[in-house]
């Protein structure tokens, strides 16, 4: 993989902040959503990229899942809504969580998706039937050790969909069996959580992204290191890689040229390269060579990246974030 050959071939300005993206397969089209409570269909190859928009939620939209002509959105209002993607017609809305929905992840076969929220629950949903099929609770505590509200930020399926991982603000990570709801492993990444007992008595950080390797042997977790000033994400990005079956940390990586949260993690299909993306004001892409055990390449981005949708073995990356959409293409 030639990770040094990425070029930004599309840089689209936006009035909003985007937190979620779902690409339409085999096209230059995608759905994006964020701070204006709407879902937007865009075509980044079109001279006028905004194709249509429709109101969707009463708060920030943080999750989009697409399967065929079914689009599911999740938001800080705690609701999940099902849409007929081609028309924008609403099919169903559920009060899915009691607090902010932070993230959603679709299973490899596209039949299920997972959602996590600040009610500290992982819920598994049937995309087609719009029904919850399983709930996992009890492992992620609602309060931090300092008695502040915790958050359940991240979730991801493994390559066959039999496992799903979750990570909360304090750095507690859990691997679950999808079809039984049983916890099979847990790990800790405490460096990603910062508590300031003096100046503000407040906490910040926490893992924001998780990803299984293609062979499901490794679990990567992304966030930030210890933060000196909790009013600013001034710490470098941090990625920890675990042998989750042994609950053993095997690699630690720091984006020494970039600061901020690692909000997206993705393994290359061959498994030897790991992409991390995020930022704090200015964004970044970081490529980790697991064979060489190093951050092999870092590239600045014109925005804080919140989410990426990739295609063609990561040859094309559609990134969304603060007031921009960026399309990275491998030369």
pLDDT digits (tens, 9 = 90+) for 103-125: 999 999 999 999 999 999 999 99
Would you call 45 helix, strand, or coil by DSSP? coil
127: phi then psi, degrees, rounded to nearest 5: -65, -45
Q: Vertex 255, ends 115 and 101: CA angle to 5°? A: 15
For residues 95 and 81, give the distance between their C-alpha atoms in angstroms, rounded to a whole number.
9
In the block, tokens 């060579």 appear at 289
pLDDT value of position 195:
77
Mean of all residue pLDDT scores within the chain: 94
248: phi then psi, degrees, rounded to nearest 5: -120, 125
On whether the pTM is more than 0.85, the answer is yes
Low-confidence ranges of the chain (pLDDT < 70): 197-203, 228-233
pLDDT value of position 147:
84
pLDDT value of position 199:
55
Cβ proximity of 16 and 304 under 8 Å: no
pLDDT value of position 209:
98
pLDDT value of position 281:
83
Q: In which order are the strands placed within the sheet that holds 112-117?
A: 101-106, 112-117, 122-126, 131-136
For residues 165 and 73, give the distance between their C-alpha atoms in angstroms, rounded to a whole number.
20
- Give residue limits of the domains in the chain: 3-14+106-330
pLDDT value of position 205:
82
pLDDT value of position 201:
53
Q: In which order are the strands placed within the sheet that holds 70-75?
A: 61-67, 70-75, 79-84, 89-95
Q: Residue 160 has which token pair? A: 């066959």
pLDDT value of position 129:
96
pLDDT value of position 204:
78
For residues 125 and 152, give the distance between their C-alpha atoms in angstroms, rounded to a whole number.
17
**In the CATH hierarchy, which top-level class contains the domain 3-14+106-330?**
mainly beta
pLDDT value of position 111:
97
Contacts of 178 (CB under 8 A, 6+ apart): 107, 112, 124, 134, 157, 161, 162, 163, 164
Would you call 226 helix, strand, or coil by DSSP? coil
Q: Vertex 168, ends 162 and 174: CA angle to 5°? A: 30
């Amino acid at each position: 993989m030639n990770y040094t050959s990425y070029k930004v071939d599309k840089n689209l300005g936006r009035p909003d902040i985007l937190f979620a993206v779902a690409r339409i397969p085999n096209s230059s089209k995608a759905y994006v959503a964020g701070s204006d409570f709407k879902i937007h269909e865009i075509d980044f190859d079109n001279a006028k990229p905004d194709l249509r928009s429709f109101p969707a939620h009463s708060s920030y939209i943080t999750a989009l899942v697409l399967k065929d002509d079914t689009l599911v959105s999740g938001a800080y209002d705690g609701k999940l809504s099902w849409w007929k993607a081609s028309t924008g017609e609403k099919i169903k809305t559920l009060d899915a969580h009691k607090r902010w929905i932070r993230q959603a992840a679709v299973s490899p076969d596209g039949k299920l998706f997972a959602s996590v929220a600040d009610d500290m629950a992982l819920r598994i949903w049937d995309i087609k039937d719009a029904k919850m099929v399983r709930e996992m609770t009890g492992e992620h505590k609602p309060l931090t050790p300092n008695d502040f509200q915790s958050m359940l930020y991240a979730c991801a399926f493994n390559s066959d969909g039999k496992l799903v991982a979750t990570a909360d603000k304090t750095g507690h990570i859990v691997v679950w069996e999808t079809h039984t709801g049983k916890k099979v492993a847990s790990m800790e990444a405490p460096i990603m959580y910062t508590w300031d007992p003096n100046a503000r008595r407040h906490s910040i950080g926490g893992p924001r992204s998780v990803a299984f390797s293609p062979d499901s042997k490794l679990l990567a977790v992304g966030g930030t290191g210890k933060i000196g000033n909790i009013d600013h994400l001034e710490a470098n990005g941090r990625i920890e890689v675990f042998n989750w079956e042994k609950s053993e940390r095997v690699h630690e990586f720091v984006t020494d040229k970039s600061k901020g949260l690692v909000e997206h993690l993705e393994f290359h299909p061959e498994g030897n390269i790991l992409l991390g993306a995020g930022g704090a004001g200015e964004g970044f892409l970081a490529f980790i060579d697991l064979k060489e055990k190093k951050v092999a390449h870092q590239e600045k981005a014109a925005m804080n990246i919140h989410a990426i949708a990739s295609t063609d073995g990561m040859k094309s990356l559609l990134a969304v974030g603060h007031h921009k959409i960026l399309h990275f293409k491998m030369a």
